[in-house]
């Protein structure tokens, strides 16, 4: 096992892997920017439909240029997933060598699985552009209903759904904590940045993490509500959280602000790709 870890560590710190990690951060930012663009469209003209990231990727795949973009995104998302899995396996941050606790390692596995799913979805959309894909075209809400319904029917299913909700709320609170404390700055090579770049990056990081914190907390709350009321229709994803924002009083304004926060997070990811230690 020691030799295997050493080989994994050498591979994870190679120039190729670092390049994939940086491409993955760019791809991650682009997926949030696509969702933000769709949310802006709804906020401005009150038309169209809100999409989660799979649905937004499906919309991009409707053009030839979009499919080329999705092919490039797939490479980045796959690289980011591998980077997450490598850190989880090694139990340390690749950029600093600092040991990772089990909770962080579990979180890295979860993040790796999410971006593996998005990677597979991008490939699927490129190779089967004319066929409907699960979760696309605004079907994300139906997928959450179906998955939650299956979970609720299992022994201790309500507790499982509630735990998923608590996980989302935990992620939301963690994002809010990172926004307030600006802990996202500690992995950055700030010495290579100009003073104005550091200020701009800090603003992007705060706004982006605040937006994600609110959205993840909303998703978690409705998962818990689904478990409490035994109603899978209460479970929502990112698109559902945006829809809840749109339905609130002054929803268009709130949705526009939320979309701006997602754009800030997208730009934050792209700056990370340039300056983060990987």
User: What pLDDT digit, counting tens, does each position of 105-143 carry?
Assistant: 888 888 888 889 888 888 887 887 555 444 444 444 555
Residue 176: is its pLDDT beyond 80? yes
**Once rounded to an integer, what is the mean pLDDT over residues 90-105?**
72
**Once rounded to an integer, what is the mean pLDDT over residues 231-260?**
79
Separation CA 141–CA 235 (nearest Å)? 8
Other Cβ atoms less than 10 A from the Cβ of 105: the count is: 18
- Give the DSSP letter string of 196-258: HHHHHHHHHHHHHHHHHHHHHHHHHHHHHHHHHHT-GGG---HHHHHHHHHHSTTHHHHHHHH
Tokens read off for 131: 């066929």
User: Which domain does 82 fall in, by range?
Assistant: 2-275
Q: Please, which pLDDT band fits residue 278 given cuts at 50, 70 and 90?
A: low
Tell me the pLDDT tens digit for each residue of 9-65: 666 666 777 787 788 889 889 888 888 887 787 777 655 556 566 666 776 777 777
- pLDDT score for 90: 80
**What SS3 class is residue 251?**
helix
Residue 160: is its pLDDT beyond 60? yes
Tokens read off for 215: 């959205």
- pLDDT score for 133: 45
Residue 266: is its pLDDT beyond 90? yes
Report which DSSP code applies to 184. G
Q: Give me the chain's average pLDDT, please.
A: 78
- Give the DSSP letter string of 132-181: --TT-TTTHHHHHHHHHHHHHTSTTHHHHHHHHHHHHHHHHHHHHHHHHH
pTM: 0.75
Q: Could you give the number of structural domains in the chain?
A: 1
Separation CA 249–CA 185 (nearest Å)? 35
- pLDDT score for 147: 64
**Once rounded to an integer, what is the mean pLDDT over residues 211-226?**
88
């Amino acid at each position: 096992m020691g030799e295997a870890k050493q080989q994994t560590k050498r591979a994870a710190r190679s120039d190729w892997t670092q390049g994939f990690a940086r491409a993955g951060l760019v791809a991650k930012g682009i997926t949030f920017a696509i969702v933000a663009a769709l949310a802006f469209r709804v906020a401005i003209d009150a038309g169209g439909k809100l999409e989660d990231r799979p649905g937004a990727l499906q919309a991009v795949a409707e053009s030839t240029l979009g499919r080329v973009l999705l092919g490039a995104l797939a490479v980045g998302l796959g690289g980011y997933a591998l980077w997450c899995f490598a850190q989880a396996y090694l139990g340390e941050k690749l950029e600093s060598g600092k040991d990772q606790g089990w909770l962080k390692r579990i979180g890295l596995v979860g993040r790796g699985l999410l971006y593996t799913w998005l990677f597979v979805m991008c490939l699927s959309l490129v190779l089967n552009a004319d066929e409907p894909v699960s979760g696309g075209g605004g079907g994300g809400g139906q997928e959450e209903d179906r998955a939650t319904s299956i979970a609720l029917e299992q022994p201790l299913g309500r507790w499982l759904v509630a735990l998923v909700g608590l996980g989302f709320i935990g992620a939301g609170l963690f994002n809010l904590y990172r926004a307030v404390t600006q802990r996202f700055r500690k992995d950055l090579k700030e010495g290579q940045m100009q003073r104005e770049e550091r200020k701009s990056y800090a603003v992007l990081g705060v706004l982006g993490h605040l937006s994600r914190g609110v959205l993840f907390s909303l998703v978690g709350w409705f998962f818990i509500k689904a478990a409490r009321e035994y109603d899978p229709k209460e479970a929502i994803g990112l698109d559902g959280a945006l829809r809840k924002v749109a339905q609130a009083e002054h929803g268009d304004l709130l949705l526009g602000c939320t979309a701006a926060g997602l754009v800030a997070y997208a730009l934050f990811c792209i700056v990370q790709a340039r300056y983060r230690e990987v």
